[in-house]
């Protein structure tokens, strides 16, 4: 029995919903208020591309490129999470810390799952993308 994460329709729906959320956020001027937010938004776009790539089985990039991007994506998440966690621990707001960590994990799980599947896939890279399929 396939797992929920391998169901193509579920992943496609999640990808479209996340894409719409990203477009809505990108239209907000506060989305680009600092350089750190702009860098994070750019990396989030890469994570969204990974989600679409996995959901629609596009195979746009090689596994090694996805591995490098996954490390950068996780590092950016930690760069923002560690100072926030430190502030919340100092103010003894453990309930907020647990809630924020859980929400962040749940909302980033589809992108992290897609990055993991793309990074460690055994499928041939670059051979089944849309341009290659159109020539068959």
pLDDT (tens digit per residue) in 15-52: 999 999 999 999 998 888 888 888 988 999 999 999 99
∠ Cα 73 77 21 (to 5°): 80
Closest to 15 (Cα-Cα) out of 105, 118, 110: 110
Q: Is 34 helix (H, G, I), strand (E, B) or coil?
A: coil
Q: pTM for this structure?
A: 0.80
Residue 55, CB-side half-sphere exposure with 13 Å CA sphere: 21
Low-confidence ranges of the chain (pLDDT < 70): 1-6, 122-136
């Amino acid at each position: 029995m396939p797992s929920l994460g391998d169901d193509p329709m579920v992943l496609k729906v999640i990808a479209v919903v996340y894409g719409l959320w990203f477009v809505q956020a990108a239209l907000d001027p506060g989305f680009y208020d600092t350089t750190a937010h702009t860098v994070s938004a750019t990396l989030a776009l890469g994570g969204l591309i990974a989600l679409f790539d996995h959901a629609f089985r596009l195979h746009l990039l090689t596994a090694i490129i996805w591995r490098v991007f996954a490390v950068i994506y996780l590092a950016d998440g930690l760069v923002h999470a560690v100072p926030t966690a430190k502030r919340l621990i100092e103010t003894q707001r453990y309930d907020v810390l647990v809630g924020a960590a859980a929400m962040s994990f749940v909302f980033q799980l589809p992108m992290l799952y897609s990055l993991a599947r793309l990074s460690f896939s055994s499928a041939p890279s670059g051979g089944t993308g849309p341009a290659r399929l159109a020539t068959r």
